Structure 1
Amino acid sequence: MIELRLSFGEHKVRVELDSDRFSAFFRRSYAPLPPNERTFDLSIRVSAGYGVSFAGYDVEAWTEDGATYYRRADYRIELAEDGRSASVQVHNELALKHALMNLYSAYIIKHRWGLMIHSSCVLGQGGAAHLFAGRSGAGKSTAAALSLPRTVLSDEAALVKIGTDRIAVFHSPFRSELETDGAPEGAFPLRSVQLLRQAGHNRKVELTKADALIRLMDQVFCWERGAENTAKVLSMLRLLVLQVPAYELYFQKNDSFWELIS
């Protein structure tokens, strides 16, 4: 058994592996904790040999005897009732990455810590974060790449901590393509949400709070659609849009759109 002590956002995570097959993935993707760390927010046991290769994004979710289960063709998750321990069975490294996104999203929603939003996120002037969301193909990864050398906190899944008086973003280990050196530590205030549309010229239009909430609802990584979970997501999204302005951002494929943001 191999044990790793890692950081996800501001959470301390212990990972137990039944072999060294995925140890390089974890060490490459997640920040290590001190070896003497003994207190953890979440414990995960990972085993290989489950299912088949990726066959689609559909995930089945259900609750049984207090535990919550998530199943896809290439992974299976069992999350304990207290939301602090889980077992994960996976087929390969891609399945492991997607399973961890599923699990961590479920964890932060369950504990009302925040949301994982399908978006890129970049630091602008003064260390404030700006989130770029939108439908598939809208340009989330493109906006992140065009924003370099600004610090990119995420290019696929932004980790957003939601409080009653502050919305903050953490560096996300859940990357799609864009890797950056020197992951920044700590929380960064979220200054704006930009809903992307590629266009021939740059302009932005402020959205109403109601429109922003509706548009962001489809961008939250959430595989369990029960009434309790949905209520938690809506409650946190409401806090987000009340505190952070949201805009429709029409942008050219160059970094000139930052003139409208900063």
Structure 2
Amino acid sequence: MSEVEPLRFPNIFDRLKRGQRIFVILHKDPLRERIDVRTSEVLGLSDDVLFLAQTEPPVDPEQIGATLEAVLLLGEGEVLRPVGYAARLLDIRSDYPLPPDSFPVSPGLPVPVPVAVPALALAAPRPEDFFETSLRMHYRVPVDDDMGVLIRLEGLECLDVSPGDEGLAGGDAPEGHEGPELLDFSAGGARVRLPGCAQVEVGQSLPFKLIFLGSGYADGIGIVRSAERTPDGSALHLGLFFTNLDIRDIRYLERMVARIVSACRQRERDAEYS
């Protein structure tokens, strides 16, 4: 893989520019099917050190000296693959200076005000260090309208409802608001679209109920791993990491994912013969 990646992604170092979104994987546990992924962005690349914005929740100073993964999403069009490298965490700085063009301009002052921000200092990569990796432990199932899979999220200021069945999902949304839309899910997490929702912070805990109409439900706590506005600003896309699930609900979700994947693949096979 290390000999292939520089050829497939010849401009990978051009992507390590200030403002580039990047993911930090602190921990992977394949046996327990757990992964700790946090979102960051590139602040700068200086000789043999890559500076990233401190994550939320922040990386603990006890991690200094440990090896983590820094991961970019690379590819063409809508097909993106996580490509990263193993990096040693050299230091956590509280005062990384932003370049002058990032300084805010204060009213009445002739020059911008310098700004320093918390930053992670990682060992910089070499071209041969990159490899394809994964940002999740579970296969994600895209949700179609006919699947009958809904999600209810609590702890949101603007809404606490979901579309669909009134008894299970909380009733009708208030006028002008739609409920959260489940984009995909697995036994380990989900992506959710929130139309017209107020700000949701990375690291925020949102109690959820994942409902399979006519088949039951599973509930737990969803930790917000990513929160991005859609290009038109009308909705928010959340990446949730499921936690506080009991073993019964975890196994139930695994069975439901397997069942839906099997049904989707059968439909694809049927379409090929039609």
Give the TM-score normalised by the residue count of structure 1. Answer: 0.29
Bigger proportion of residues as helix: 1
More contact order relative to length (CA 8 Å, sep ≥ 6): 1
Quick check: which has more Rg, 1 or 2? 2
Give the TM-score normalised by the residue count of structure 2. Answer: 0.28
